[in-house]
Amino acid sequence: MTNNVVELRGVYKKIHDHDILHGINLEVREREFLTLLGPSGCGKTTLLRLISGFETATQGQIFIDGEEISKLPPDKRPVHTVFQSYALFPHMSVYDNVAFGLRCQKISEKEIRLRVAEVLNMVKLEKYVDRKPAQLSGGQQQRIAIARAAINRPRVLLLDEPLSSLDYRLRKTMQIELKQLQRKLGITFIFVTHDQEEALSMSDRVVVMHEGYIEQIGTPRQVYEEPQNLAVAKFIGEANIYDGQVVSTSDNRQVLVTIFNKTRAAKTKRVFQPDEKVHVLIRPEDVRVWGQAEVTDTDDMFAGVVEDATYKGTTVDLMVKLNNSKTIAATMFFDEDDDRLEYKVGEQVWVNWTPGWEVILPHET
């Protein structure tokens, strides 16, 4: 037996003749923080509901600790959900909300009191036991929802976009807290989000979903730096995507590609054929933009005109229209070499990017 907590094999889901999920195979490891990432409507929430038992798969099997649970009702599965709306019971105090799961198991009130105190202490809300959910802030409700789901010590905690209704700052704080909480609890988390930044910063592994398919499973670094295909590349982070053509390939994972009529060497783990059409993906943060006076050697550079410049505090985001009429997005960071970063709209500039950092993907129509 493997040490997978959750395993899905060939899971299909149809709702009203619409295919929501296609042949999902997924293994979730013990104590990992796994994120299902994708745009709305990609099936990530349905996948979560299949694991929690609120939906049944049209086809396929779901295992928890090697036991098939596809036919079990939600209350018999060792998984608990933190709902997007928190779904705290409005008529119960914080204490009764958190104790609910234990009371379902008919545990003695004495033990319940100890365990509620312990878990409330963990989420730092022990002062609020007598409050009603309506008297708590969004972030506090969030933590109660997690405490309520975690107190039963489930094998897996499912979190359905739990941070999406919080404001930006609180979301940042909660991201860190959730991560710490997961380590303290030692429970496997399956986290659903459409926010790629959230997914990258919190997860051990990210599952990128698109229109009911799993496009890629990998560490945050893998999905960002080595996207499997165009869908993943477009969804994770900003990307400039252009057409290119393979000139030649060599054994040491190098390909020569032409882009904008210049030939450049790029690294890749894939196998390409000469003359194959490809997509060349360049992240904005790899792009450098130079003023006319800053450069002398422009062989590897592309001339363009600044179309738009947005000051964002730590960065300046530029849109540059190249002379071949393609537009390229660039994110420039302030550092000691380049503390000026002032660009006027309409200014003539030179653009290049860190050689070898392009991502080469097979051409998709």
Residues in contact with other proteins by CB under 8 A are 52-54, 73-76, 79-81, 83, 85, 87-91, 100-101, 104-105, 131-135, 148-149, 152
Min dist. Cβ of residue 45 to other proteins (A): 12
Min dist. Cβ of residue 103 to other proteins (A): 8
Min dist. Cβ of residue 121 to other proteins (A): 20
Token representation of residue 141? 């409700």
Return the number of the residue (109 or 238) whose C-beta is nearest other proteins. 109
Min dist. Cβ of residue 102 to other proteins (A): 9
Return the number of the residue (94 or 209) whose C-beta is nearest other proteins. 94
Antiparallel, parallel or unpaired: β 79-82 and 156-160: parallel
* Kind plus residue range of the DSSP H or E element containing 303: strand 302-311
3-class SS shares of the chain: helix, strand, coil, % to 5: 25, 35, 35
Min dist. Cβ of residue 56 to other proteins (A): 14
Return the number of the residue (89 or 334) whose C-beta is nearest other proteins. 89
Return the number of the residue (141 or 216) whose C-beta is nearest other proteins. 141
Q: Give the separation between CA 130 and CA 88, rounded to whole angstroms.
A: 14
Return the number of the residue (122 or 280) whose C-beta is nearest other proteins. 122
Q: Give the separation between CA 162 and CA 58, rounded to whole angstroms.
A: 27
Please check whether residue 226 is in contact with residue 359, taking contact to mean a CB–CB distance below 8 angstroms.
yes
Return the number of the residue (160 or 198) whose C-beta is nearest other proteins. 160
| CB-based burial, 235-268: b 16+ in 10 Å, e otherwise | bbbebbebebbbeebeeeeebebebeeeebebeb
Please check whether residue 249 is in contact with residue 294, taking contact to mean a CB–CB distance below 8 angstroms.
no
Which DSSP category does 299 fall into?
Answer: T
Q: Give the separation between CA 133 and CA 125, rounded to whole angstroms.
A: 12
Min dist. Cβ of residue 108 to other proteins (A): 16
Min dist. Cβ of residue 13 to other proteins (A): 17
Return the number of the residue (13 or 283) whose C-beta is nearest other proteins. 13
Which DSSP category does 141 fall into?
Answer: H
Please check whether residue 181 is in contact with residue 142, taking contact to mean a CB–CB distance below 8 angstroms.
no
Q: Give the separation between CA 6 and CA 29, rounded to whole angstroms.
A: 7
